[in-house]
Amino acid sequence: MEKDMINASRAHCLVFPYPAQGHINPMVEFSKRLKHKGVEVTLVTTHFISKNIQKEGNSIALETISDGYDEGGRAQAENDQTYLEHFERVGSKNLIELLEKLSRSGRPVNCIVYDPFLPWALDIAKDSELVAVAFLTQSIVVDIIYYHVSKGEMKLPLLEPEVLLPGLPPLEAQDMPSFIYKWGSHPDTFDMLLGQFSNIEKADWVLCNTVYELEQEAVDWMSKIIPMRTVGPTIPSMFLDKQLENDKDYGLSIFKPNVDACLKWLNDRSKGSVVYVSVGSMVILEVEQMQELAWGLRMSNNYFLWVVRASEEAKLPKNFVEETLEKGLVVQWCRQLEVLTHEAVGCFVTHCGWNSTLEALSFGVPMVAMPQWTDQSTNAKYITDFWKMGLKAPMDEKGLVRREGVAHCIREIMEGESGEEIKKNAFKWRKLAKEALDKGGSSDKNIEKFVANLVARSS
């Protein structure tokens, strides 16, 4: 083992995520796995993100480059297309200079693990004769859908009510990512998602934050097209396989969590009695939806811990926090993993972003799905119909989930007959997620193979 670690240390990976928390965190967690196996790792992010993250607890070396928007990041740009074009012009030059700097300092890079939202990083890796590794941060199911659209093999707008694609079960139009079933919405973001596959066939490796056993048929099909390996779930080791000692901190947080208040409150609640509610760092709910969700939580008559970002607090019903003090705690942010792994939490009301979905699966927490946009509707379909570890809250003709639907789903999971079956399935997926990362599991073996190949090419 010691000899293997020495050999691996000859390899140096530059890990380059798209500068958003949902992309940074999975790649940080993968970086820790590489470092544990002896590979030197340097994480690259933008100046703006670096200024705003909570860095404590992270052991990965960090370098920063400019995306051309050092004061405000993506928010400064007119749209995603403008941001990406400017980032490519400024960032590609800075990334090349960083590679040269690291080489001069005696730490030459052998490999770039890049986010395909930034496909030009592959070209830099190839021009520099480095191993090029794409790291996909969404599910393989969603990747297959976008892949077919990007190659012109799935025509839009959809004209048929059912979509049939290889590696996937039959899906209805509303099970597609929002950019597809709401054709024409957010065209710049949609172009960015399709752009992931513009040159991905040239990558030496394609890694994905998922579990093979979770998406087996989809992975098997995609692996015939590109050199794909599953390496997920990218979650701190101490929450699952415990191979990495004291690895409890998740990624790099852009928001300051209210950890003590959350855990103290949860510690005073009985096992499985709390509903945890969070729609992540990017979803913005309409005022009416926010109020319906609030009253739905109140109607369910369960304890609840609700993450409401500071920018969203004004949308809460008047006096809601004060009137629900006996049952609820509303916080601006928390460490989601510590909440989901707490024995008091029995249900997770979520937007079904991929990271949140993987976390709930990994910890066996049943879900109430309230998808809002992008890949969330597809994830919700799998959660409810194929993995059978949650319920989807019904939407009305306005696309809103009403309070009665929220309350019904929560009560059914927490107290109803179908909740028992959902809890059994959740426990099954928790076991499979842990086994994937355990020594000899599907993800662990794929990481081992990747490191061995990297070392062989670096020697």
Which CATH number covers residue 356? 3.40.50.2000
pLDDT in tens, the chain (459 residues): 444 554 556 799 999 999 998 999 999 999 999 999 999 999 999 999 998 876 555 689 999 999 999 999 998 999 999 999 999 999 999 999 999 999 999 999 999 999 999 999 999 999 999 999 999 999 999 999 999 999 999 999 999 999 999 999 999 999 999 999 999 999 999 999 999 999 999 999 999 999 999 999 999 999 999 999 999 999 999 999 999 988 888 877 766 666 788 999 999 999 999 999 999 888 899 999 999 999 999 999 999 999 999 999 999 999 999 999 999 999 998 889 999 999 999 999 999 999 999 999 999 999 999 999 999 999 999 999 999 999 999 999 999 999 999 999 999 999 999 999 999 999 999 999 999 999 999 999 999 999 999 999 887
Residue 284 is assigned to a structural domain of this protein: yes
Non-local (6+) Cβ contacts of 115 within 8 A are 16, 17, 18, 23, 27, 121, 134, 135, 137
Q: 43: part of which helix (H) or strand (E)?
A: strand 40-46
Which residues form the domain of 121? 2-243+438-458
Domain shared by 184 and 271, yes or no: no
CA distance 103 to 6: 19
Backbone phi, psi, residue 307, to 5°? -90, 115
Residue 15 is assigned to a structural domain of this protein: yes
Residue 252 is assigned to a structural domain of this protein: no
Residue 24 is assigned to a structural domain of this protein: yes
Q: 427: part of which helix (H) or strand (E)?
A: helix 417-437
Domain shared by 265 and 409, yes or no: yes
Domain shared by 39 and 77, yes or no: yes
CA distance 98 to 229: 28
3-class secondary structure, 61:
strand
Domain shared by 415 and 447, yes or no: no
Domain shared by 289 and 420, yes or no: yes
**Which residues form the catalytic set?**
23, 115
C-beta separation of 94 from 120 below 8 A: no
C-beta separation of 167 from 146 below 8 A: no
Predicted local distance difference test score (pLDDT) of residue 9: 62
List alpha helices for 325-386, DSSP H.
Answer: 336-340, 354-363, 376-381
Domain shared by 159 and 297, yes or no: no
pTM for the model stands at 0.94
Residue 251 is assigned to a structural domain of this protein: no
Predicted local distance difference test score (pLDDT) of residue 1: 45
Residue 269 is assigned to a structural domain of this protein: yes
Q: 36: part of which helix (H) or strand (E)?
A: helix 21-36
Residue 82 is assigned to a structural domain of this protein: yes
3-class secondary structure, 24:
helix
Burial of 1 (0-12, 13-18, 19+ CB in 10 A): exposed
- Say what the alpha-carbon torsion angle 359, 360, 363, 366 is, to the nearest 10 degrees: 180
Domain shared by 287 and 394, yes or no: yes
Domain shared by 101 and 197, yes or no: yes
Domain shared by 328 and 235, yes or no: no
CA distance 153 to 169: 17
Domain shared by 270 and 151, yes or no: no
Residue 250 is assigned to a structural domain of this protein: no
Instruction: Provide the domain count of the chain.
Output: 2
